[in-house]
Amino acid sequence: MSTTSLLVIAILILATLGYFLASKRAISTAGGDRRKLHSLPVYYGSNAAMFTAIPALGVLLIWLLAQPMLVERNILSTIPDKLIPEGSSIGLVMSDVRRVADGLEVVVNTGTLSQNETLKLDTEQTDIRALLAGVGAAVGSDVQPEVLEAAQNYRAQTKMGQLWMVLIIVPLALIGFALSVLAAKPTFRARNTVERGILALLVLAASLAILTTIGIVFSMLFESINFFKLHPWTDFFFGGSWAPNFRGDSDLSILPLLWGTIYISIIALIVAVPVGLFAAIYLSEYASPRVRAFAKPLLEILAGIPTIVYGLFALLTVGPALVRVFGRGEEGLLGLEWMSGATAVLTAGLVMGIMLIPFVSSLSDDIINAVPQSLRDGSLGLGATPSETIRQVVLPAALPGIVGAVLLAASRAIGETMIVVLGAGAIAKFSANPLEAMTTITTRIVSQLTGDTDFASPETLVAFALGLTLFVLTLGLNVIALYIVRKYREQYD
Amino acid sequence: MTDAIQKPEKKKSSLLQLDARTRTRNAAETRFKAYGMIAIAFGLLMLSILVFNIVTRGAGAYQQTFVALEVELLAGKLDKKGNRDLDDIKKVSTFGYTPLLSNALEAKVIELGIETDLKAKKMVGILSKSAAAQVRDYVLNNPNKIGETIGFEFLASSRVDGYLKGRVNRDSIGNDKNISPAQLDLVDALKAEGSLAKRFNMSFITGSDASDARPEAAGMGTSMIGSFFMMLVVLVLALPIGVAASIYLEEFAPKNWITDIIEVNISNLAAVPSIVFGILGLAVFINYMHLPNSAPLVGGLVLTLMTLPTIIISTRASLKAVPPSIRDAALGVGASKMQSVFHHVLPLAAPGILTGTIIGLAQALGETAPLLLIGMVGFIASNPPDSIATGLLSPNSAMPAQIYEWAKRADPAFYERAWGGIIILLVFLVTMNTIAVILRRRFERRW
């Protein structure tokens, strides 16, 4: 069992012990009379458990996150430049070092060699690769002496770090244990302390949302900066073509991808907005309660279907159906030869539109329902027909909200991945023909980041720049949409 | 002033007869209403097409063609030394078992008097490539049966299976190296005799993925386990964190700019494209923390971050629905604020929280895009994990990722599997949503 898990178990045992000791001690210092205690004995116990476990576990967590980074930085500075082969990167050498170090750990653990023997290992005398392969740790190439040395260093520093970790965390837990058990006296306000601790945990949980956002932004920002160091930003934002080439010298411009993304989203909105809007109008203004109770949940099923299902639907059903209509020359329904493959802008756009129907309809439904009944009554009382009321009174009143709903749907369409990965194709180009295959930002992120990736090449890193652009784009749309919707809701509240 | 003298033409109108303008207005009314009906009909039509497609195309995956054969386990081939030593028997690879299969098929053909000019070697082509491994596994488990003749049921190859299901026909196999018309003749003969038939295929639900050459043996079982472990991680992390965050925001948070930032953040995170969470997972959990690639643990962590906003939003709604009088009563009899929340408000909000969690889990279960980035595709998830630790840490696929994987493979036989997989996925989603609806109906309290 690893040092870390032993440490965690020890801390937990200590905390449990603290719980019982502190609640016992609280009662006994009160002379066995619970009424003399400030708080219930449970709180004295919890207080002890809290002070034993939480500082120690918190430091442990931070330590575990920080140590690999610090050790790695130390090792990186010792790796000579000549070790990095042509076309490779320091990151790959570092992962070799890590693999050798892990392998040596296994060698010691399985008892193949003793700790001292591994320290004396020499690339001249032993075949390290075979040795590691013997315990099931695969290393890609023969181990060079520098790598071995770095790996030895890595192990030594990791060991040292672990030793310090134990030396700091165990006393920390013991101090917390001792202080909190000693504090368990009738005058001690244990409940207040425990409740403050719980509140701190609640705050921590709530701030995870902020942490996630920061994580998203920084993880993409750092890699994007790395990308712009390797690739001119002018080409990324203003270049005209997308042609990644893993041998280097690629054209990586976002514009063709952005065009594909927007084109597909527009088609999706052309399908989803009228259908969704009319469905919402009918459901909220015309439909009898029975129709509404039946049609609304059914429509909303469309929103609950996973996108992979829509992707498959596009690739295997809608795409071939469109080819049958617009393609195949003489054999096709129209005798045309406009469409050659199932993947096309129209395929992805149509299916995405179907997916967005319930999204638009339920948002618009809410918004139309929020328009005060008095407006409708006034209009109907003046002799307008229901449709005139809707067109000239309800819709203008609901317009800002509906615009917000459409913007939210657009942001959904831009960020949608599975439908376009399966249905849109992989060719980046500027074209106005909806029957051609085109590609989108999300599709390219997936293709650049799956499979064997090398995080030092611009062809991989470009995915982070694409991701950041996508994030900013959808975030902007969402913020505007939410602002409009919220502002509009306030009007009638 | 001649205009004034002219009498205006008297307009004839009747309450009983509609004038032209009213008629156009009424027509517009009818049209408008029809547009709404058409829109709803279009949506429902698309839904029914989708469901029809899934059911008709996916049902095939639950049936598979099997061939019943009597295989003689020749001692001379399997155990040349004759001492039944398991190590010696293990030395015979699956190639060594292929002759047994061709012998068995040949015997069958002669027994039934089928006329075919196929060589025995070619006949084996109608069986799945996993057939030899199946016999080998049997022999390794029962070495004492060597020398006997045992009845086996083998999977037929995917082409034969497709032929029985109508996906493959004699015209379409012109350039197909894997099957020939003569083999199909043999299939017809065996089918007429009854030793080759379609039946329910349990191993599609319980089995593992198989390589490109054996679509007939691929199943969803292993990826279901992967999904299960991911959902476990999501449940263990997202539920407590989400509930804690909502309690803070709803009950304790002071109205200031920090709280505002958190709230805006949560509503924005709910709308961030899922693929962005995949990038986050790749950058933070795999590249920075060096957690294993393709592991359900990493998938679970990413999905946790994705599901958190959903759970927080629904939990806050159900906390808000608990009337303030409950809190006031608790405070009035001397409970602390924390006690009033944990002893009174939270239990009353529990059904709503549970409903929201189930819906969040259902969403996470169907999510695919982030899983592509953390590497849960592109390999064959063939070994079911044997413990919780390996289940969390060893590479596995997940249901939607497995479906994507099959959709990407070239062989149309995998498409049927993909649709079949979707049926399983949807059964899970429908079940979860039904449970959520029942919980809501049963326990929801109106105050």
Residue-wise DSSP of A240-286: --EE--TTS--EE-HHHHHHHHHHHHHHHHHHHHHHHHHHHHIIIII
- Distance from chain centroid for Cα A117: 44
Same domain, A160 and A298: no
Whole-angstrom distance, CA of residue A352 vs CA of residue A268: 5
State the pLDDT at residue A359.
Answer: 92
Burial of B72 (0-12, 13-18, 19+ CB in 10 A): middle
Instruction: Indicate the pLDDT class of residue B20, thresholds 50, 70 and 90.
Output: confident
Q: Give the residue range(s) of CATH 1.10.3720.10 domains in chain B.
A: 221-443
Q: Is residue A227 part of a domain?
A: no
* Model confidence pLDDT, tens digit, residues B322-370: 999 999 999 999 999 999 999 999 999 998 999 999 999 999 999 999 9
Q: How far is CA B446 from CA A399, B232, B315, B347, in A?
A: 33, 32, 16, 15
Contact between B322 and B446 under an 8 Å Cβ cutoff? The reply is: no
Please state, as a whole number, how many other Cβ atoms lie within 10 Å of the Cβ of residue B404. Answer: 26
The residue among A90 and A165 whose pLDDT is bigger is A165
Maximal CA-CA distance, chain A = 101
pLDDT tens column, A195-239: 999 999 999 999 888 888 898 898 889 889 988 888 888 888 888
Same domain, A168 and A263: no
What is the spatial distance between Cα B273 and Cα A467, in angstroms, rounded to a whole number? 10
Contact, A101 vs A151, CB < 8 A?
yes
Rounded distance between C-alpha atoms, residue B216 and residue B210, angstroms: 8
Q: B23, B26, B30, B32: which to substitute to probe chain A, counting the most A Cβ within 10 Å?
A: B32
Q: Are A23 and A45 in contact (CB under 8 A)?
A: yes
Contact across the interface for A313 and B375, Cβ inside 8 Å: no
Q: What is the CATH number of the domain that holds A322?
A: 1.10.3720.10
Strands (E) located in A143-227: none
Measured between CB atoms, which of A208, A471, A479 is closest to B276? A471
Shared domain for A268 and A389, answered yes or no, is yes
Classify strands B196-200 and B149-155 as parallel, antiparallel or unpaired: unpaired
Q: Report how far residue B305's alpha carbon sits from residue B301's, in angstroms, rounded to the nearest whole number.
A: 6
The answer to whether B406 contacts chain A (CB < 8 Å) is: no
ipTM rounded to 2 decimals: 0.89
Q: Are the C-beta atoms of residues A428 and A254 closer than 8 Å to each other? A: no
Q: Are residues A160 and A249 in the same domain?
A: no
A337 and A260 in a single domain? The answer is yes
Based on the fold, state whether residues A326 and A427 are members of the same structural domain: yes
Domain co-membership, A171 together with A269: no
C-beta atoms surrounding A475 within 10 Å:
20
Please report where in the chains the tokens 């650049």 appear, as a residue.
Answer: A448
Cα A334 to Cα B321: distance, rounded to the nearest angstrom: 58
Lowest mean pLDDT among B19-28, B113-122, B411-420: B113-122
> Is the Cβ pair A212, B276 closer than 8 Å?
no
pLDDT at B262 over 70: yes
| Helix count and strand count (H, E) for chain A | 19, 2
**Which of A89-98, A250-259, B41-50 is modeled with the greatest confidence?**
B41-50
Q: Which of A301, A412, A446 sits opposite B47 (nearest CB)?
A: A301
Helix axes B346-366, B296-321, angle to 10 degrees: 140
Closest CA to A51 of A93, A84, A96, A18: A18
- For residue A59, give both structure tokens: 């430091």
| Cα–Cα distance measured from residue B283 to residue A89, given in angstroms and rounded to the nearest whole number | 17
* Region B207-211 average pLDDT: 83
Instruction: Give me the CATH code for the B221-443 domain, please.
Output: 1.10.3720.10
Cα–Cα distance measured from residue B276 to residue B28, given in angstroms and rounded to the nearest whole number? 46
CA distance B246 to A14: 31
Would you state the torsion angle of the CA atoms of residues B244, B250, B256, B260, taken in this order, to the nearest 10 degrees?
Answer: 80
Full domain range(s) for residue A272: 242-492
Out of A172, A188, A204, pick the residue that ends a domain.
A188
Asked if the structure places residue A316 within a domain, the reply is: yes
Task: Identify from A70, A218, A299, A308 which residue to disrupt to test chain B contact, counting B C-beta atoms within 10 A and taking the largest count.
Answer: A308
d(CA A349, CA A424): 8
Please name the member of B35, B275, B283 whose beta carbon is closest to the beta carbon of A278: B35
Q: What is the pLDDT of residues A129-149, one digit of tens each?
A: 677 766 666 666 666 777 778
Q: Are the C-beta atoms of residues B300 and B230 closer than 8 Å to each other?
A: yes
Residue that wins the pLDDT comparison between B238 and A4:
B238
Contact list, B36 vs chain A (CB under 8 Å): 278-279, 281-283, 285-286
Asked if A254 and A175 sit in the same domain, the reply is no
| Residues shown for chain B | 447
Smallest CA–CA separation between B284 and chain A, in Å? Answer: 7
Q: Of B39, B266, B283, which is closest to A278 when you measure between CB atoms?
A: B39
Q: CA neighbours within 13 Å on the CB side: how many for B263?
A: 14
**What is the pairing mode between strands B196-200 and A242-243?**
unpaired
Residues in A touching B279 (Cβ below 8 Å): 216, 219-220, 445, 449, 463-464, 467
> Is B39 in the A-facing interface, judged by CB distances under 8 Å?
yes
Q: Are strands B149-155 and B63-72 parallel, antiparallel or unpaired?
A: antiparallel
Rounded-to-integer distance, Cα B32 and Cα A392, Å = 13
Which candidate, A297, A458, A56, places its Cα nearest to that of B43? A297
Do B43 and A275 lie within an 8 Å CB cutoff?
A: yes
The closest alpha carbon to A253, from A470, A475, A465, belongs to A465
pLDDT of residue B1: 47
Asked, for residue A308, whether it belongs to a domain, the answer is: yes
* pLDDT value for A465: 92
Give the pLDDT score at B3.
55
Question: Residue B18 gets which letter from DSSP?
Answer: -
Number of domains composing chain A: 2
Task: Show the DSSP H helices in B322-380 as ranges.
Answer: 324-332, 337-340, 346-366, 369-373
Chain B closest-CA separation from residue A443 CA (Å):
10
A·B CB contacts under 8 A: 256
DSSP state of A114: -
Residue A276 is assigned to a structural domain of this protein: yes
Same-domain check for residues A96 and A29: yes
* Whole-number pLDDT of residue A474: 92
Q: Are the beta carbons of B198 and B60 closer than 8 angstroms?
A: no
Q: Is residue A327 part of a domain?
A: yes
Instruction: Say if residue A473 is in the same domain as residue A334.
Output: yes
User: Up-side HSE of residue A54: CA atoms within 13 Å toward CB?
Assistant: 13
The fraction of chain A above a pLDDT of 90, given in percent, is 37
Identify the bridge partners of residue B266 per DSSP, sorted by sequence position. none
Question: Is A33 in the same domain as A181?
Answer: yes
Residues B142-196: tens digit of each pLDDT: 877 777 888 888 888 888 888 888 888 777 777 777 778 888 888 888 888 878 8
Is A401 inside any structural domain? yes
∠ CA(A26), CA(A30), CA(A36), 5° rounding? 105
pLDDT per residue over B289-327, tens digit each?
Answer: 878 888 899 999 999 999 999 999 999 999 999 999 999
> CA-to-CA distance for B185 and B299, rounded, in angstroms?
48
The set of residues, in sequence order, having a beta carbon less than 8 Å from that of B404 and lying 6+ positions away, is A308, A311, A418, A421, A422, B368, B372, B377
User: Locate tokens 């679970």: which residue?
Assistant: B300
DSSP code, position A450? S
Residue A420 counted as domain residue: yes
SS percent in chain A: helix, strand, coil, step 5:
75, 0, 25
* Local structure of A424: helix, strand or coil: coil
How many whole angstroms separate alpha carbon B442 and alpha carbon B437?
8
Please check whether residue B405 is in contact with residue B380, taking contact to mean a CB–CB distance below 8 angstroms: no
Phi, psi dihedrals of residue A422, rounded to the nearest 5°: -90, -30
Cα–Cα dist A98/A159, whole Å = 14
Same domain, A184 and A303: no
Task: Please compute the mean of the pLDDT values over residues A484-488 and round it to a whole number.
Answer: 76
> What are the respective helix, strand and coil percentages of chain B, to the nearest 5?
70, 5, 25
> For the sheet containing B63-72, what is the strand order?
B149-155, B63-72, B196-200
Helix B257-269 with B296-321: angle, nearest 10 deg: 120
CA distance A217 to chain B (A): 9
